[in-house]
Structure 1
């Protein structure tokens, strides 16, 4: 009996010891867990806009906090306006190793910090707050705890006046890849824009043969690919193979799907390209601020229409010459000159306005104008002109309006600054996206291949 009692006591003690090991109220010794640090990259600045409040602001990731005893660990992401966390607020908690903070959550903290997007407000629209992680064993939050170092989040509240027609705004998502910008080495990602449906975004991009993915904030912390090439999105999924062309890409982040379709609008006619026999149509570019499509173009005396995808499946003319877009309508007579043309499909109208059309000229493109007109750029926002994709040769180039030398810009010092009458800009052969910002006096030549 005595031996059995001792054995019984031993088994009882063993059972109780093992059960205590997994209880939340087990006592742990205080220690700083090795490897408990943030592992995601932090951007220099986060631009926050109300129209994209449901978008991902940042995905915080970290290594495990090991308290030396087998147990579940709870992690809290905390924010602090003061920076010393005497005012700590819990953003979210988890037992995994990542927490997503939306733009809306960032805006809430920024507002608490006294920031204001109203341009007439005396409060600033830029500032910062801090975040850190708290870890503790179990789920009660009592007893031993550990913290990561704090990181500073610099933010900018975008003024509401930055929205376009219908509240359209640039989204945080973009197109990246060898098919667009050499995986981020040749300029920013192709821009997605918000739509009337939450978490559904649209982009209008010209691609080359290659592969693409979708990522947020021009950063790899959050990216989507397609395993199986079936139109579904997977976190960190496979590259998406693409062929050269101009596309409309619809990205449904909430539904986990995407769709790519051939999509372009162009000017065709005897007034531009001999009804398509003398080169492609003049390409329209999307302007989110007006939710319209625009093109800067040099026309000659003749007739034009607007058609989709450089083919005659869908085209618009104008019955009655009253500025309305009529499917399959009459040819539109034009006279020689330089114009901005706008297609407004929301209201079914178009405009053709005489305007300065900036272009690329040089030995790298058209033998300084001797071999044809300059490569025309399109004004998509005030004083911002873009053009893609242009094939340049080894040589030099400058910018000038209306195929004329009355005004031209070069670059003294090769520093990306526009200088009136400045030095020729030396380029090497390849495919380029061009951007010219007259207001800020800068330009970009992003070589994608």
Structure 2
């Protein structure tokens, strides 16, 4: 009997093992059904009181939406979409992020300007709404959806957040006109030292001054030759036959060495002057007081008659000096935004900044900013081999990066060395798209321009 009992136990054990193996096979075919989440999706960030919208800052991040991850009760991928509307009932969807996998999304000033335009708002101080009040402010609405499967699937499990209203205000231009009073002239610098005699882009511009027929240009030149001509055309050009500073129609090429220059063209006397000229940021906050590379260059912005630099700073001190030399340098003795020659060092904290200097009254501003930069295998190994190359914002919604040395590879443009906002080129057509394709580049030195003034942002490479 004992032997029979042991045999029975062994038989039952084999039966259980066999059943278990079959059960495991069947478990592979279990189907999980996603359910409506027990906790609805919701924004976890807080909106600002007001969002000021200006074309000068259209590339800045206005708001980064952040939300929780809902549990649909199934081991499945959850996707999201952020939507915006000018209507509280979302009868129209006027903004969409597209499908997202992360739980945050940045909306730019430009995105809000597009919504403002859809509402009929504008920045013109001379226009009003139907009620006679200025039509430059309003409310737009955002929501976030979480879903399993595709966003438009029928009967898919999903969750929609409450609305987040944003109060937006278009910054109106001064009703008195404004502007710096400086304009681009019809004259420019052309040559192998400037733009490959016109083959690598338009002539470098001269600007008007407070004297009639006297123009000034701030240019970065290569070793080579240059001349001055009007309207990017050889019909009216000036050179220097005697290399004596006097100009003659159709005269000889003017030889120059590489560097940054200020050129003054006086058509009253048909003379010109050229001198080394470059303002830059120096200090422990940037280049170890000049021991770790050249100063961060400031660029002339004729629309405001000021000098600007987009710069990434460290905790430390800075000053502004001429021609990478201590002969002329400016600090701030009173920490009041006014510059004095030889003045005190300016303390700064680490971050991304736009520095604006007005040498008409020796004032400056240093504003925390969202700066576009160049990243990629063609520049800094996608950020692993040093910082991005920073652009400087100028008037007319344009950004400049000068003398960028690239290697064969790919690049993209992103804000503040972060992938949250980045631009590539899906069609390789010079038009930029958010999260677009990598841009192929060949080794060389370039000036690169970003232009956000049109409906779609564009970029231009100028070979140096």
Question: Normalization by structure 1: what TM-score?
Answer: 0.63
Q: 1:265 aligns with which of 259, 266, 279?
A: 279
Matches within 5 A, 1:349-388: 349-388=363-402
Residue 361 of structure 1, CA deviation: 1.1
Quick one: distance in 1 between partners of 2:199 and 2:285? 38
Q: Which residue of 1 aligns with 2:350?
A: 336
Higher radius of gyration, 1 or 2: 2
Q: 2:207 aligns with which of 177, 181, 193?
A: 193
Quick one: distance in 2 between partners of 1:356 and 1:227? 48
Residue 381 of structure 1, CA deviation: 0.9
Quick one: distance in 2 between partners of 1:275 and 1:408? 32
- Quickly say closer, same or farther: Cα 1:425–1:244, change in 2 above 3 A: same
Q: 2:236 aligns with which of 222, 238, 259?
A: 222
Q: 1:170 aligns with which of 174, 184, 188?
A: 184
Residue 222 of structure 1, CA deviation: 1.1
1:239 aligns with 2:253: yes
Q: Which runs of 5+ in 2 are unaligned?
A: 1-124, 127-174
Quick one: distance in 2 between partners of 1:202 and 1:288? 11
Residue 404 of structure 1, CA deviation: 1.1
1:182 aligns with 2:212: no
Residue 255 of structure 1, CA deviation: 0.9
Quick one: distance in 2 between partners of 1:265 and 1:372? 24
Residue 220 of structure 1, CA deviation: 1.2
1:423 aligns with 2:437: yes
Residue 170 of structure 1, CA deviation: 0.4
Residue 285 of structure 1, CA deviation: 0.4
1:444 aligns with 2:460: yes
- Quickly say closer, same or farther: Cα 1:416–1:162, change in 2 above 3 A: farther
Q: Which residue of 1 aligns with 2:40?
A: none
Quick one: distance in 2 between partners of 1:219 and 1:161? 36
Q: 2:263 aligns with which of 231, 249, 256?
A: 249
Residue 382 of structure 1, CA deviation: 4.6
CA RMSD between the two structures: 2.0
What are the superposed Cα offsets for residues 19-77 of structure 1, whole Å, 9 maximum, x if unpaired?
Answer: xxxxxxxxxxxxxxxxxxxxxxxxxxxxxxxxxxxxxxxxxxxxxxxxxxxxxxxxxxx
- Quickly say closer, same or farther: Cα 1:256–1:161, change in 2 above 3 A: farther
Whether the aligned pair in 2 keeps the contact of 1:164 and 1:288 (CA below 8 Å) is: no
Quick one: distance in 1 between partners of 2:376 and 2:189? 30
Whether the aligned pair in 2 keeps the contact of 1:163 and 1:169 (CA below 8 Å) is: no
Q: Which runs of 5+ in 1 are unaligned?
A: 1-118, 121-159
Quick one: distance in 2 between partners of 1:382 and 1:336? 28
Q: 2:289 aligns with which of 265, 275, 292?
A: 275
Whether the aligned pair in 1 keeps the contact of 2:304 and 2:395 (CA below 8 Å) is: no
Whether the aligned pair in 1 keeps the contact of 2:281 and 2:295 (CA below 8 Å) is: yes
Q: Which residue of 2 aligns with 1:94?
A: none
Residue 439 of structure 1, CA deviation: 3.0
Q: Which residue of 2 aligns with 1:310?
A: 324
Q: Which residue of 1 aligns with 2:116?
A: none
Q: 2:216 aligns with which of 187, 196, 202?
A: 202
Residue 162 of structure 1, CA deviation: 9.0
Stretches (4+) displaced over 6 A: 160-163
Q: 1:285 aligns with which of 281, 293, 299?
A: 299
Quick one: distance in 2 between partners of 1:442 and 1:197? 35
SS state of the match for residue 241, structure 1? strand
- Quickly say closer, same or farther: Cα 1:282–1:162, change in 2 above 3 A: farther
Residue 237 of structure 1, CA deviation: 0.9
Whether the aligned pair in 2 keeps the contact of 1:163 and 1:289 (CA below 8 Å) is: no
- Quickly say closer, same or farther: Cα 1:382–1:337, change in 2 above 3 A: farther
What are the superposed Cα offsets for residues 186-234 of structure 1, whole Å, 9 maximum, x if unpaired?
Answer: 1111111000111100000111111111111111111111112111111
Quick one: distance in 2 between partners of 1:209 and 1:162? 41
- Quickly say closer, same or farther: Cα 1:437–1:237, change in 2 above 3 A: same
SS state of the match for residue 368, structure 1? helix
What are the superposed Cα offsets for residues 381-419 of structure 1, whole Å, 9 maximum, x if unpaired?
Answer: 152101211111111111111111111111111111011
SS state of the match for residue 197, structure 2? helix
Whether the aligned pair in 2 keeps the contact of 1:272 and 1:304 (CA below 8 Å) is: yes
SS state of the match for residue 286, structure 2? coil
- Quickly say closer, same or farther: Cα 1:175–1:419, change in 2 above 3 A: same
What are the superposed Cα offsets for residues 347-406 of structure 1, whole Å, 9 maximum, x if unpaired?
Answer: 221100001111111111111111111111111115210121111111111111111111
Q: Which residue of 1 aligns with 2:14?
A: none
SS state of the match for residue 420, structure 2? coil
